[in-house]
Structure 1
């Protein structure tokens, strides 16, 4: 067992090293306007994703369930989905490569934080054995990855609009940055809604109730409504630019609270998750 733990830890730290290298290349490629460094960022991220994924699979085999119980595995899986989403989407939309300046540091930070908490083997409660739970968690992870990319471009908008960093002139024009943030927010909003729906079906299977105003459910709904407000204001009230970026950043911070802090409340039926 000790060898298995060592293997999992080693694979995760290997992924961290590749993500760090990818982050350095992504930032340097943008600041110094070097296409070669941009390409190197992707070349470092891909093997990092594979090594990181291998670590998650080994851990899955050890604990006998998916990565959705212990803080280590939750953070690690979120990091993996975030990088995978960026690399896949980046194949179709090359301008998304700039989000690597945020996504790669976020990924290796989540992995490092998970390892800091120390991996623990936790048995899966009977109520957690449902395909709807798997879908519920998967959709939330995809939503978080989409919001992380939207956060990156909202942040870029504020930097470029205020000319804080002239060396970021390589970024797309402000309208394009604003549009990317808007579209990925819509994508994340849809998957957050599907995740809530799948979670409601799982709750009915487990406790014969679709919704009981559990703290996690409540804050998740509030977060979704606020993202919906962001989209509504943009679509019907012509909100864009700086004020839209600031509103999104506020919504994103609330999403972090919903995902990582409300599950710690002992009064929640989600108390077994992320403890």
Structure 2
């Protein structure tokens, strides 16, 4: 078993190494206006994603369930989906590639934090089973990935608006940055809603109740509503630019609270998750 742990840890650290190199390359490319370095960074991340993915699969085989119960596997899965989702979006929307400056280091931080907590084998409680649980978790992973990208563009807008990113000429123009923040926020909002719906169906199958105002459910709903307000203000009241970016930063702070803090509350039915 120790050899299996060492293999999983080694594969994850191998992924981290490639992610770190990719981060250095994209930051260097953006700062020194070197498109070749940026492209090399995006290529370098692929072997890291492969090693990271193999590490997750090996861990899945060891514990016998998907990555959604131990802190290590949860953070690792968030990081893997974040990089994978970004690469898909960057393929279809090349101007979204500038978000790699935030995506790659965020993935490194999550993997490193998961390894710091040390992998532990945890068996799933009887209620933590079923296809709706898988959908519930997967949709939240995708929503989080889209919202990280939207956060990156909101941050870019605030910094570029204040001329703090003069050397980063690879960034799109301010209106494009603002638009991408809005669109990725809408994507994340949609998948967050689907994740909550799938979670309600899973809750009914497990506890015969769709909603019971559990701390995780409550804060997830509050976060989703705040994102709805953000999108509503943008769509119908013409909010854009700096004030929209600041509102999104507030929304994203609630995302981190909902996903990574509320599951630690002992009174939550999700307490087995992320202990």
- Name the TM-score, length of structure 2 as normaliser: 0.99
**1:122-178 deviations in Å (ceiling 9; x for gaps):** 000110111100000000000000000000000000111110121123210000000
Q: Look up the match of 2:220.
A: 220
The alignment status of 1:89 with 2:86, answered yes or no, reads no
Instruction: Say which SS state the counterpart of residue 239 (structure 2) adopts.
Output: coil
- Cα distance, 1:63 vs structure 2: 0.3
Q: Look up the match of 1:165.
A: 165
**1:97-125 deviations in Å (ceiling 9; x for gaps):** 11000000000110000000000000001
Alignment of 1:34-53 (within 5 A): 34-53=34-53
Q: Look up the match of 2:21.
A: 21
Are the aligned partners of 2:98 and 2:170 in contact in 1 as well (CA < 8 Å)? no
Are the aligned partners of 2:49 and 2:83 in contact in 1 as well (CA < 8 Å)? yes
Q: Which moved more, 1:173-182 or 1:159-168?
A: 159-168
Q: Look up the match of 2:243.
A: 243
Alignment of 1:183-194 (within 5 A): 183-194=183-194
Q: How many residues align?
A: 275
- Cα distance, 1:43 vs structure 2: 1.1
Are the aligned partners of 1:56 and 1:67 in contact in 2 as well (CA < 8 Å)? yes
- Cα distance, 1:219 vs structure 2: 0.2
Instruction: Say which SS state the counterpart of residue 124 (structure 2) adopts.
Output: coil
RMSD value over aligned CA atoms? 0.5
**1:197-244 deviations in Å (ceiling 9; x for gaps):** 000000000000000000000000000000000000000000000000
Are the aligned partners of 1:82 and 1:142 in contact in 2 as well (CA < 8 Å)? yes
Q: Look up the match of 1:204.
A: 204
**1:23-80 deviations in Å (ceiling 9; x for gaps):** 1111111111111111111111111101000000000000000000000000000000
Q: Look up the match of 1:54.
A: 54
Residues in 2 aligned to 1:76 and 1:230: alpha-carbon distance in whole angstroms: 29
- Name the TM-score, length of structure 1 as normaliser: 0.99
Instruction: Say which SS state the counterpart of residue 126 (structure 1) adopts.
Output: coil
Moved over 2 A (4+): none
Are the aligned partners of 1:160 and 1:169 in contact in 2 as well (CA < 8 Å)? no
Q: Look up the match of 1:116.
A: 116
Alignment of 1:226-265 (within 5 A): 226-265=226-265
Residues in 2 aligned to 1:229 and 1:155: alpha-carbon distance in whole angstroms: 19
Q: Look up the match of 2:146.
A: 146
Q: Look up the match of 2:267.
A: 267
Q: Could you list the runs of 5+ residues in structure 1 that have no partner in the other structure? A: none
